[in-house]
Structure 1
């Protein structure tokens, strides 16, 4: 679907620069969703999608990388909202954990290009730098997507508090659970024709074993 503005965008009134910044980021996010290869996205393309001139973008972003970093932040916000909505449908701790796992997978399946953008920003060289001690690992509470990951940690901790999990380290076990979820949805993207078991069954098994659920 072509989301490009059909007419020249009217200038923002004085003091509405924040609105233009939001429109630029939203336009770039739409391009990510519509473009098979994100490396094909250009600053001019973003400007065209937003209905502005390329120089207008430089008033808010230094370059395309800065625009895409803002897109990643917005995408993580959408994932967080998606998970929050799912969690609100259940009132018990175990049910909320299962709902989060299912919603995470659903988001990845329904928005594959957006999901891939979230986790394909780093290079293999960065992993080597972290492993060698040249670059310190990110802090969990300040990394991109921290609020979404925090929901998973809190969900495991809630199960412990409720007496339905024997986890002794909710953050560690939430990390293992997230790694399993990410691996699963990545395989779904690359091997969709594999005879997978029921998605809900797979996800529930992950939660049950990795969060050490007892109920």
Structure 2
């Protein structure tokens, strides 16, 4: 059975645009998934990337156009300039790490809910009440928002190190069985094709 390491940031617009399509592909092929939220700005800094706000104006403009087009393609509403972006992704990431450890809910739904809160609902995913609502909506205990903060911080930092070592440099980033890499929500069909080739 294939395994997918999923490296991402909870406030990434492309994680939002991915929706739960990767999870559907994984389920189709019986692949397991480990969710690895990380510090995306740290990943950019370590791998030669540039944060959106520091890119040349033409790149910034193109990014917004592409986000609008991709949102239309996957039929998701999007606010191209959300009120709470950028925000601190660490609290939502720690909660997601705690949820993965606790089990009992839907991690794909949780990841999508957090990203949707930022990009479609004008909510700040650094706030406990927003994270709690996402947890509960995905079938997890809302109190996980305050659970395992120290261990969450340790895993969050380790995820960044692992991502760099594994060859990830953006989000979402899917790595199958430690070697086959797919970058971007627009590569989920390619992930599906690759997993099909393994069976």
Instruction: Please state which band the TM-score falls in when normalised by the shorter chain.
Output: under 0.3
Taking structure 2 as the reference length, the TM-score comes to 0.26
Larger of the two Rg values belongs to structure: 1
In proportion to residue count, which structure has more strand? 2
